[in-house]
Amino acid sequence: MQFTIKNIEDWQEIVNKIVPELQHNILLLKGNLGAGKTTFTQFLLKKLGSEDEVNSPTYSIVNEYSTPQGKVFHFDLYRLKNIDEVYDIGIEEYLDNAFLCIIEWPEVYEDDLHGLKYHEMSIINTGEQREISFE
C-alpha cells in the first residue's frame, strides 16, 4: 500500500486503512528523524482504543501501552549499537507477550527477524509531504 500525506490530520486516514491489514504482531517503522514514526504511533494507538499518552521511547527504549486487544510495546532501537543490546532488553519476551510490537529504527535487529512474520512501514519526509509505504 502506498500513501502520500501533506498534513498531520492525514495520519488518521492512513491508520484507518492500515489497521484492518494488520495480520502480524510486529510492525517495523522506518524513516529518517522527524519523518513521523511516533506521530503515526499516536494515531494508531488511539485507533486501537488506547487511552494512554503515547511518547517516543527514544530514551526508555521501550514504552508499554494498553489496548482492549492487549499490550502494545513501542520500541526505539536508534541508540542500540548491536544485536546483543537488543537481546539484553528482552525483546523476545516482549514479542511473545504482545498484541503488537512497533519497532522504530529496526535495522540493528532486522536480520534476526528471519522466519518471523511482520509488517514494514517506511515514511519518507520530502519536506512538503510524506511518502508512506506499508507491507
Q: How many CB atoms lie within 10 A of CB 23?
A: 8
Contact in structure between 89 and 114 (CB atoms under 8 Å): no
Stated pTM of the model: 0.91
**Residue 24: CB atoms within 10 Å:** 12
- Alpha-carbon span 21 to 84, nearest angstrom: 32
Residue-averaged pLDDT of the chain: 92
pLDDT at 35: 86
Strand blocks (E) in 54-111: 62-67, 70-76, 100-104
pLDDT tens digits, residue range 105-132? 999 998 898 889 999 999 998 888 899 9
Contacts of 101 (CB under 8 A, 6+ apart): 25, 26, 27, 72, 73, 74, 75, 94, 95
Q: 54: which DSSP letter?
A: P
